[in-house]
Amino acid sequence: MRERTPAEQLSLNFWGAAVDVTCAPADVRDLRFFYGPYVAEGDDAPDVSVALECTTWPSRGFFTSCLARDLLEKRMTVRDHWEPRRSAVRSFRDWSDLVSPIPPFASATLARRIATFPGAVVRTPDGHTTALLGEHYVGKTSTAIAWCRDHGAALVSDSLIVLDVPGGVALTFETPLGFRRQGLEEIIPTLDQLDHRLTLSADTGLVALLRPSDVLGVGNAPGGHVDHLVVLSETEEATATWSRDRSQRLGWFTEASLAAVNSLLPDSVLRVRVPKRTSPTVRAAAIVHALRQEQGA
C-alpha cells in the first residue's frame, strides 16, 4: 500500500479571489516561489479549494513532477464554492485540459470580470501602459526585460495580459520569468546564486525560471489603462507600422462581454517586425522609437 505524504495548506488571494491549496510540503515551497506575492496570511473563507498531488510519487510533489515532465501521474481537484458545476477532478501524466486553478481564472469569482491573453505588459517612464503580443517564442519576455533595463520601463506582467474588465485596467501579474536559448546562456553565470526552477520545453529545451525581482531588482509595477498595443513578429526586414486592426481577433479567455474587453484597448495597433535573431536590445529600441514617433516626441 502506497504511503501517503502528510498534506499542508497554503492560502492565496488573486485580485479578491481566495484560494486554499492542499498539497505536499515540497509543493508549498514551489507555490511560494511561483506565487509569493499572492500568499495570504489571513483566514478568509475560500472561493476555490484546490488539491494538488503527484499520485505516483506523493513526496516528490506535483510541481516537481510537472517541471521535470517525468510522465508520472498527477491529479488536480478543484472545488468552486460559488458554482459547483465549475468543480472538477483531473488525473494526467503530461497535459491536462483543465484550466489551471491557480490563479482561478475559470472560477465563478473571476471568470466574468477578468480577461486574459498571452503577452507581456510594461509601464513606460511617462506613465503609459503597453501590452506586448506575439507568437510563442518570438521574444516577448526578453524584449520586455530589455525595455525595462535599457529604457526605464517597469514590468507589469510577463506571461499573461490580465484585464480587470469592470475596472478598465491591466492588472499586475507577477510570476517567474522564463529564460531559454540565448537568454538562458547569458544568465547561467549567476544562476547558482539565485533561487530558481528548471523545466524542459519540447520546442526550446532547458528553461530557467527566476523571480522578476531577482532579474530586474524590483517586483512588478502597478498596471493601468492600456494605452498601446504592440504586436511583435519576425520577418526578413525591419518595419514598424500602425493599423486599425486591433483586438477583435484576439481569443480572450473570459466570460465578460468581448465588446467590453475591446473597449479597454486602443483603436490602433503597432506592428513591429524585426529580422530573426535580432537581439532583445534592438527589438526594444525599435518599439520605443516607433512609439515616440507616433507621439511626436
Q: How far apart are CA 216 and CA 161, in angstroms?
A: 19
Which residues 6+ apart lie within 8 Å of 69 measured at CB? 94, 199, 200
Cα 170 from chain centroid?
13
Give the domain range for residue 285. Answer: 114-176+211-295
Say yes or no: 13 and 122 in one domain: no
Mean per-residue pLDDT, 53-78: 96
Name the DSSP class of 59.
G
Region of poorest pLDDT, from 50-64, 74-88, 229-243: 229-243
Q: Does residue 206 sit within a domain?
A: no
186 φ, ψ (degrees, to nearest 5): -70, -30
Cα(first)–Cα(last) distance of the chain, in Å?
70
List pLDDT tens digits, range 252-276: 999 999 999 999 999 889 999 888 8
Question: At 217, which amino acid appears?
Answer: G
Q: Does residue 105 sit within a domain?
A: no
Say yes or no: 172 and 228 in one domain: yes
Q: Does residue 223 sit within a domain?
A: yes
Say yes or no: 143 and 285 in one domain: yes
Cell 489551471 maps to which residue?
Answer: 100
- C-alpha angle 212/165/170, rounded to 5°? 25
Look at strands 269-275 and 226-235 and give their pairing. Answer: parallel
List pLDDT tens digits, range 166-209: 999 999 999 999 999 888 999 999 999 999 999 999 888 999 99
Q: How many domains are there within the chain?
A: 2
Say yes or no: 154 and 245 in one domain: yes
Q: Does residue 191 sit within a domain?
A: no
Say yes or no: 261 and 118 in one domain: yes
Give the predicted TM-score (pTM) of the model. 0.92
Say yes or no: 276 and 171 in one domain: yes
> CATH number, domain at 171?
3.90.228.20
List pLDDT tens digits, range 108-133: 999 999 999 999 999 999 999 999 99
Is residue 31 packed enough to be buried (19+ CB in 10 Å), middle (13-18) or exposed (0-12)? buried
Structure confidence at residue 1 as a pLDDT band (50, 70, 90): very low
Cell 544562476 maps to which residue?
Answer: 191
Q: pLDDT value at position 138?
A: 86
Alpha helices in the chain (DSSP H): 25-35, 62-68, 140-151, 181-191, 212-216, 258-262, 280-295
Say yes or no: 134 and 272 in one domain: yes
Q: pLDDT value at position 191?
A: 95
Q: What's the mean per-residue pLDDT of the chain?
A: 92
Other CB atoms within 10 A of residue 289 CB: 13
Which residues 6+ apart lie within 8 Å of 163 measured at CB? 114, 115, 116, 169, 170, 171, 226, 252, 254, 261, 264
Say yes or no: 122 and 233 in one domain: yes
Say yes or no: 143 and 267 in one domain: yes
Q: How many CA atoms lie within 13 A of 254 on its CB side?
A: 23
